[in-house]
C-alpha cells in the first residue's frame, strides 16, 4: 500500500473513531433514564471530554497531513493535541465512573486543555480543524472549572 493510501486509511479510521465517540456519549448519558445512582453528575465533563477528543482527532489528523507535506509550523499544535486527547479521554472515563481520582485529573486536564487551546488558536484562521479543537478545549476548560468550583 502506498503512503498516500495509508494516510487516507488512517484519517478514515480516526474520523470514524471520533464520530463513534461523539455519537455514543449522549445516548450513554440519556437524561430520561430511570436508572440513577447517588453521587454528583459529571455529565458536563463526560460530554465535553468526548467532544474535545473528537475534535482533537480531526485536528491531529490534519496536522499530520501538513507535517507530512513539510509544514513544520504545525508541530507545536500537533504536540499539544497529542497530549490533550488521552488526558480528556481519561477524564471522561473517570467522570463517568465518578472516580476518586477525578478531582486531581480535572485539575491537570484544565492546564493541558488551556495549553492546547493556545497552540490551536495560532492556526484557527487558516485551519478549521484547529479552530474547532481550540473551541472544544475552551469548552473543556469551562467544564473543568465548573467541576472544580462545585467540588
Whether 26 has a pLDDT exceeding 60, the answer reads no
The answer to whether residue 33 sits within a structural domain is no
Task: Give the pLDDT of residue 46.
Answer: 96
Lowest mean pLDDT, pick from 25-29, 34-38, 115-119: 25-29
Confidence of residue 151 (pLDDT cuts 50, 70, 90): confident
- Give the list of residues 6+ apart from residue 140 with CB closer than 8 angstroms, or none: 48, 49, 51, 52, 88, 109, 110, 113
Is residue 36 domain-resident? no
- Answer whether residue 35 is part of any domain: no
Structural domain of residue 122, as residue ranges?
Answer: 3-26+41-150
Q: Does residue 34 fall inside a structural domain?
A: no
Q: Cα(150)–Cα(113) distance, rounded to whole angstroms?
A: 19
- pTM value is 0.76
Amino acid at each position: 500500500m502506498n503512503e498516500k493510501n495509508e494516510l487516507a486509511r488512517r484519517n478514515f479510521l480516526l474520523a470514524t473513531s471520533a464520530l463513534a465517540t461523539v455519537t455514543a456519549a449522549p445516548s450513554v448519558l440519556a437524561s430520561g433514564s430511570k436508572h440513577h445512582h447517588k453521587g454528583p453528575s459529571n455529565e458536563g465533563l463526560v460530554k465535553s471530554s468526548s467532544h474535545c477528543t473528537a475534535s482533537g482527532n480531526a485536528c491531529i489528523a490534519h496536522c499530520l497531513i501538513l507535517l507530512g507535506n513539510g509544514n513544520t509550523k504545525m508541530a507545536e499544535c500537533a504536540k499539544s493535541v497529542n497530549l490533550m486527547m488521552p488526558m480528556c479521554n481519561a477524564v471522561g472515563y473517570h467522570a463517568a465512573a465518578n472516580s476518586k481520582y477525578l478531582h486531581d485529573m480535572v485539575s491537570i486536564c484544565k492546564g493541558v486543555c488551556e495549553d492546547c487551546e493556545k497552540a490551536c488558536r495560532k492556526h484557527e484562521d487558516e485551519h478549521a480543524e484547529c479552530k474547532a479543537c481550540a473551541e472544544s478545549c475552551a469548552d473543556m476548560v469551562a467544564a473543568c472549572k465548573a467541576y472544580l468550583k462545585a467540588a
